[in-house]
Chain A
Amino acid sequence: MSGRRRAARTLEGIMTLRVLAAMSGGVDSAVAAARAAEAGHDVTGVHMALSSNPKSYRTGARGCCTLEDSRDARRAADVIGIPFYVWDLAERFHEDVVEDFVSEYAAGRTPNPCLRCNEKIKFAALLDRAMALGFDAVCTGHYARLAGGVLRRAVDQGKDQSYVLAVCTPEQLAHSLFPLGDTTKADIRLEAERRGLRVADKPDSHDICFIADGDTRGFLAERLGSARGPIVDTDGNEVGEHDGAYAYTIGQRKGLRLGTPAPDGRPRYVLDISPVTNTVTVGPREALDVREITGERPVWLSEPRAGAFECRVQLRAHGEVHAATAEQDGDVLRVRLAAPARGVAPGQAAVLYEGDRVLASATIAAAARVPA
C-alpha cells in the first residue's frame, strides 16, 4: 500500500488498486494474491486469525487457522514480495459464524458456515476494515468469475464456489477480486509451483474449519447439551429416541439408531426436525421430495425480475442444479422446481443461476413437500 496512490471509488477501469489479499495459508489464496500483485495492484497480504487459541499444526485436511497456516501465508507473502499482517478476527468469527452455527442447529436448521463466513467476515468485517484503512478491494482465492458486477461459475466446475459467494451483496462484490475463476485447480497448483510457492501441494481444506476433528455432532452436543426426545414416523408413532434434535439434518439416513424397523423394511430418512417439541420425524425417501421452496432475505446479483421467470437453482454447496421457476413475492423468493428434489434443508442457500451466471440467492426458510 502506498500513501501516494489515490483510493478509487469503483474497481472498473482502474489500473492500480490497493488490494487486501486474504491469505489462509493455502495454495488458492496464495496464487490469488500473486496474480493480483502481478496485475499491477498494490497488494497487502492479511491472514485472518479466527481462533483465539490456535492449534500449532494442521491435522490432515481439516481445520485451518493454525500457527502453521499463518506461517505458510507469511512465507507465501514473502515469496510474492508483499507486506503481510495477521488480523485478529477471532471474536467476530466466534459471534457471527460459530455461535450462529450452533443456534441455527438448535433451531432445527442446517447452516452453512462457509457461506456465513463470506457474508459476515470476509466480505463484511474484513472488507469494512480494509476499506476504512484505505484499501479498494479484498482479493480471495475463491473459484468464481466476477466481471462488471456479474458473478459466474468458475471454469473449474468441480471447484466452483459461486454458490457460497452468492450471499454477498452487489456492494460487497463491487469491492472483491476473485483472480482464480478462469483456471482449473490443477493449473493453480502448477502455477503455485512455478511461482515458488511452497504451499503448492498442500491438501485442500474440507469440512468445517472450526471443528478440527470433523465431529459436528460432538461439537454441538458439547455446546447444546443433550436433550432426549422422540423420533417418530409420519403417523406419529415413536420409533426411536435421540439425544438432541439439533444433531440431525433433513435427508440424513445414517446414525438414526431406530429401534423399530419400518413396516416395509425400507430405509428411513430424517424428514423434519421440530426444536419446539424436540421431535425428529423420519419417513421414506420419497417423502423428502420437495417441489416448492421459500427463500428469505433474497439478494439480487442481477436486475431484479418482476414476475415469474425460468432459471436453474442450486440448493446446497456442490449440489446438483434443478430447473425451476422463481418469483419474488414481497420479501421472499418463491422457487418452484420442475422436478422434485430431495434433502432440501432450511438454513442452506437457494442460489438461482441463468447458465453459469448467478442471478440471486436466498436462505431456504421452508420447503413444501410433494403431497404423497
Chain B
Amino acid sequence: MVTYLDHAATTPMLPEAVEAMTAELRELGNPSSLHAVGRRARRVVEESREIIAEAFDARPSEVVFTSGGTEADNLAVKGVFWARRAAAPARTRVLVSAVEHHAVLDAAHWLAGQEGARVDWIPVDGAGRVRPEALREALGSGDDVALASVMWANNEVGTVQPVPELAAVARERGVPLHTDAVQAAGTLPVAFATSGAQALTVTGHKLGGPIGVGALLLAKPKEPVFLDPVPLLHGGGQERDVRSGTLDAPAIAGFAAAVQVTAARRDSEARRLAELRDRLVEAVRAAVPDAILNGDPVDRLPGNAHFSFPGCEGDALLMLLDARGIACSTGSACSAGVSQPSHVLTAMGSAADLARGSLRFTLGHTSTEADVKALADALPAAVERARRASS
C-alpha cells in the first residue's frame, strides 16, 4: 500500500479521462486530413478545445495544444520575447518572478545567454508572493520589456499569486503577462478572460488527464501589446501556425475529459482538499512541533503542505518515508538526482540548510484521511532518524 502524497508531481488519471483517451486510441484519423476520417478526428479535437476553453473562461480559438506545461511555458516566454522584440528592438527585458518553475526560469535564462535578453527577477515576500508594487518597480516605463511571467500558484510551497492585480499593473505599462497555471488549474477558479493575462499555461496530468498534453491559452493578437508568439516548432502550421505537429487526438480527448470532470467539482473538491490538508498540517505539527510550514498560510493551493524540518536533510527524510511506503517530494530541482537548495525557498529568504531540510506533501482527488494518518504515524521516527544522520 502506497501513501501517495505527491499529487503536484502527477496525479492519477480520472477514469473518465482513461475512458475518453482509450476510446480515441482505437480510432483512426489525422485531425488535419481533409477526408471523412480526418474530419472525425478533427471533431474530437475541436470538441475538446471547446470544453477546455469553457472550463478556463477562454475562447476556443485561444486554446493552443502543446505537449505539456514545459512546452507551453517555453512557447510563451521565448515566442513572445521573439515576437515583441521583432516588433520593437528596444524590448529586450524579460521579467520573471524569482519563484517560477524551471520551465519558465530556464527559458528566460536561455534567452539571456543566447538572445541577449536581460532577465530581471521580480522579488517575492517571505510567503513567496509577488507584490504588485514589486512588479511595477521591475517594469519601469515598460518600454524595454518584452514580457513578464508570474505563475498562478507555486509548485513547491503552493502560494497563490494575485494574477489579476499583476496583469493590471503590466497592462498599465503595455506589457503582456504570461502565467503558468499548471498547479492551479485543477483546484482554483482559473479564468483566463478575467485574469487579464495574455498567455496562460495548463497541462493535463496535474488534473487527472494524461501526461504529454497541455495547452497555452493565448489571447488574440492585439497590437501593439500582444502578438502571437514566434513558434518553437515549425512544420504543418497547426494550432494557428503557432505550434506545428500532428494533433494528438487521444491525449487531447483525455485532457478535455479530465478538465470537464475537474471543473464540475472544483469548488467542492477544493474545500475537501483544504480540510484534509489542514488536518495534515496539524498532524505534522503534532508529530514534529518545530516543523515550519512554508508559503502563505491561507492563500495557498488547497492540496499543498510544504514544511521545513530543522536539523534534517530532506533527502534522508524522503528515503525513510519512501521505505515506509510514503511518497512525497523534496520539491526541488534535480540534476543527477542531487537536490540543490530550492530556489523558491531561497528567494523567500529561507536559509540554505533549512531549505535543504524541506518536504512537500501534496494531496489530490484520491487522497483520504488514511493518507494523513499514515504520514502522521511514520513521520516522528523518520524525523528523529534523519536528525541523527545529519548531526
The A119-165 residues at the B interface (CB cut-off 8 A) are: 129, 132-134
Is the pair A86, B336 in contact by a Cβ cutoff of 8 Å? yes
Contact of A70 among B319, B337, B378, B389 (CB under 8 A): B337
Residue of B nearest to A73 (CB): B337
Is residue A60 within 8 Å, beta carbon to beta carbon, of the partner chain? Answer: no
Is residue B291 within 8 Å, beta carbon to beta carbon, of the partner chain? Answer: no
A132 CB to nearest chain B CB (Å):
4
Is residue B323 within 8 Å, beta carbon to beta carbon, of the partner chain? Answer: yes
The B358-391 residues at the A interface (CB cut-off 8 A) are: 378, 381, 385-386, 388-389, 391
Residue of B nearest to A2 (CB): B323
Q: Which residues of chain A come closer than 8 Å to B114, judged between CB atoms?
A: none
Is the pair A129, B338 in contact by a Cβ cutoff of 8 Å? no
Count: A-B pairs, CB below 8 Å: 48
Is the pair A133, B320 in contact by a Cβ cutoff of 8 Å? yes
- At the interface, is chain B mostly helix, strand, loop or mixed? helix
How many of B's residues come within 8 Å of A, CB to CB?
19
Is the pair B338, A86 in contact by a Cβ cutoff of 8 Å? yes
A210 CB to nearest chain B CB (Å):
15
A58 CB to nearest chain B CB (Å):
13
Residue of B nearest to A65 (CB): B336
B34 CB to nearest chain A CB (Å):
44
Residue of A nearest to B387 (CB): A132
Contact of A83 among B323, B339, B378, B388 (CB under 8 A): B323
Is the pair A132, B389 in contact by a Cβ cutoff of 8 Å? yes
Residue of B nearest to A83 (CB): B322
B358 CB to nearest chain A CB (Å):
15
- At the interface, is chain A mostly helix, strand, loop or mixed? mixed
Is residue B335 within 8 Å, beta carbon to beta carbon, of the partner chain? Answer: yes
Is the pair B337, A47 in contact by a Cβ cutoff of 8 Å? yes
* B positions within 8 Å CB-CB of A: 315-316, 319-320, 322-324, 335-339, 378, 381, 385-386, 388-389, 391
Ordered nearest first, which 6 A-B pairs have the shortest CB separation? A86-B337, A132-B389, A1-B323, A70-B336, A49-B338, A88-B338
* A positions within 8 Å CB-CB of B: 1-3, 44, 47, 49, 54, 67, 70, 74, 83, 85-88, 90, 129, 132-134
Besides A85-B315, A88-B339, A90-B338, 15 more A-B contacts (Cβ < 8 Å) are: A2-B323, A3-B323, A3-B324, A3-B381, A44-B323, A54-B338, A67-B336, A83-B323, A88-B315, A132-B385, A132-B389, A133-B316, A133-B319, A133-B389, A134-B320
